[in-house]
Amino acid sequence: MDALGLFAAVVAVTLFPGGLFACAAAGGAALAAGFGGRRRPVDNGWTPAAFAAAALLLFAAALVPLPQSPALELPAPGDAPTNVLAVVLLAGGGVALGTVPRWPRSRIAAALAACVPLLVVAAQAATLAFPVVVGLPGPRLTAGRALAAAAILLAVPGLAEPDEATVPVLLRALLLAVPAMVATVLLAPPGWSGLPAAAAAALTLVGVALYGGVVRVALRALHGKTLHLSGVACAAAIAAIVLTVLASR
C-alpha cells in the first residue's frame, strides 16, 4: 500500500467513518437510549474483552461505505474494497466479546437474522464488495436490502442487551450504533453515494440517535424482553432472503 493509501486507512480507522465518528454516533445513541442516567455496579469496568470488543466494532465501523469514506479507496488497486464479510465478522466478534456470554435460542436466532440476509444479498451480487452490494439496482433487491436492514435493527436489542448493566456504557452504545450505521447504508436512497461527506455524516448521526430513542421506547413497552423483537427480525430476514432469491429470476 502506498503512502496515500496508508494515510486514507488511518483516517478511515481513526476519524471517519470509524474512530471518532463511530464514538460520536455511539454518544448520540447512548443519550437517546437513556444510558447516561443508569448507575453501574462498582466492579463494572473495561476488561480486556471489553476493549477488544470496542476495537472490533470500531474497525467494523471504518468499513461501512458512507459517502466520501476513505475506506472506499482501500486497499490497493486490484484487491477487494470494503468487504461485507469482514464487517459481519468484526461486528459479530464485537458482540460476542462485548456482551454477557448467554446465548439462548432467541439470541442465536437474532444473530442469524442480522447476518444471513446481508450475506445472501452479497451472494446475489456475486461480490463481497460492500459499495457494490449497497448499490445494486432493481426493486426486489432494493426491498431485500431494506428488509435486511430492518432485520438488523430489530435483532440488535436482543444481541447488544442495552439494559445489561455489567457492560460499560460506551460499549453498549457502540453495540447499538455500529449495526445502525450498517443499516443506514442499506436503507439509503440511490443518490446517497453522491452526497458530501458532511451531509452523509450528519444524516447518519441523526438516524443512529433516533434509533437509540426507538430502542428505548420499545424496551420499555416490552418490559426489557426482546423475544418478540427477535421473532419479527427473523420474519424480516426470511422476507429479505426470499426477495433477494426472486431477484435472480
| Over residues 7-25, mean pLDDT | 91
Question: Band of the pLDDT at 199, cuts 50, 70, 90?
Answer: very high
Q: Residue 209 has what pLDDT? A: 97
Q: How many domains are contained in the chain?
A: 1
Alpha-carbon 32 to chain mean position: 17
Is residue 98 within 8 Å of 50, Cβ to Cβ?
yes
Beta bridge partners of 129: 83
43, 154, 54, 34: which is closest to 99 by C-alpha? 54
pLDDT recorded at residue 37: 52
Which one, of 134, 147, 3, lies nearest residue 67 by Cα?
Answer: 134
Scanning the structure block, which residue is given the C-alpha cell 467494523? Answer: 60
Q: Contacts by 133-137 with C-beta closer than 8 Å and gap 24+? A: 133/84, 134/65, 134/185, 134/186, 134/188, 135/190, 135/193, 137/190
Please check the confidence at residue 69 and state whether its pLDDT lies above 80: yes
Q: Which three cell numbers stand for residue 106?
A: 432467541
Q: Looking at per-residue confidence, does 140 or 182 come out higher?
A: 182
For residue range 70-112, what is the model confidence (pLDDT) as tens digits?
888 766 554 556 789 999 999 999 999 999 888 999 999 999 9
User: What is the domain range of residue 23?
Assistant: 3-247
Q: pTM for the complete prediction?
A: 0.92
Strand partners, 220: none
